[in-house]
Amino acid sequence: MTFLVISCPCALVLSVPLTYFSGIGAGSRRGILFKGGASLEALNNVKTIVMDKTGTITKGNFVVQKVVPAQGVPLDENELLWLAAACEGASTHPIAKSIINSYEERKTSAAKAGDFSLVAVGATVENIREQAGEGISAELEGKTILCGNVKLMERNNIDLSGYHGTPGSTEVLLAMDGHFLGHVDIADTIKADAKSAISRMKAQGLTTAMLTGDGQASADAVAQEVGIDEVRARLLPQDKLSALTDIREKCGAVMFVGDGINDAPVLAGADVGAAMGSGADAAIEAADVVFMRPT
């Protein structure tokens, strides 16, 4: 047991900031950067830990598992993958990078085998526009291309009756001039210490929740694997902030942990915002706490 003995007001004035300095210093030795004493003190009132999925609970190392052209569509796997890679060519999102890398690997392998039919990414795709939280729209020889999630397809009234997703996978869907073309299955890996970290949070009486823009099936699979209490999926960046506010009203003060540029508003709006040091600069800037060591 530790006792703090105060003999005069001067000692109190000195001891309080020294306590904060000590806490901030202890955190820094463990790779945790507190931007001030207020964030350190606010942690004492946190009742719920809310997390992003990609890059926070999972590694964000996406790998294309399979390419599935829709039935009756005159495109093979390589052509569908090229179209997805061409649309995602300007994006820095981990999912986009995995699609581009997968196509380039196929192109290189085909060239080594003497097949030069796979064209360069971005050869004829034009007017690429990002649809926040949904995907990409572009044009190919005057035709409108959509490349993104189910929400993007539904908003553009694409018939998905022929689409059958893979539970637990992240999927990128493609459509051309209002017709569904197929989808790309992508898998991510859960961080090795995610399950134990969630377990320790819950052992301290904290509630856990996950907010993600990914599909419900993928989000549910990850949450079940690591033991998260509440899941809210298919959220746009502005939806995450609304969901955080709702959780705060039900459970009390919240801490949000994220790493992406889309997480910046939520990090700023949480009682305590914590960013991964490997994340986007905007997320680190908006956060109160930064985890500097890789997990």
Sign of CA dihedral 69, 125, 91, 108: positive
Q: Please, which residues bridge with residue 125 across strands?
A: 140
Q: Average pLDDT of 180-194? A: 90
pLDDT value of residue 195: 93
**Helices 94-112 and 77-87 sit at what angle, rounded to 10 degrees?**
130
Kindly report the pTM of this predicted structure.
Answer: 0.71
Tokens, residue 238: 């502005």
177 is an active site residue: no
126-145 pLDDT per residue, tens: 888 888 778 889 988 888 99
Q: Are 177 and 149 in contact (CB under 8 A)?
A: no
212-261 pLDDT per residue, tens: 888 788 889 899 999 999 999 988 878 899 999 999 999 999 999 988 88
pLDDT value of residue 227: 95
Q: Average pLDDT of 39-58? A: 89
Question: What is the signed CA dihedral for 105, 221, 54, 210, rounded to 10 degrees?
Answer: 170
Residue closest to 156 by CA, chosen among 141, 183, 134, 139: 134
Confidence of residue 202 (pLDDT cuts 50, 70, 90): very high
Distance CA 162, CA 108 (A): 32
Distance CA 178, CA 174 (A): 10
pLDDT at 8 over 90: no
- Edge to edge, what strands does the sheet with 32-34 contain? 32-34, 289-291, 272-276, 254-258, 48-51, 207-211, 230-232
pLDDT value of residue 6: 60
pLDDT value of residue 140: 85
What is the pLDDT of the chain when averaged over all its residues? 86
52, 188, 271, 288: which is the annotated catalytic residue?
A: 52
Confidence of residue 23 (pLDDT cuts 50, 70, 90): confident
Distance CA 161, CA 249 (A): 38
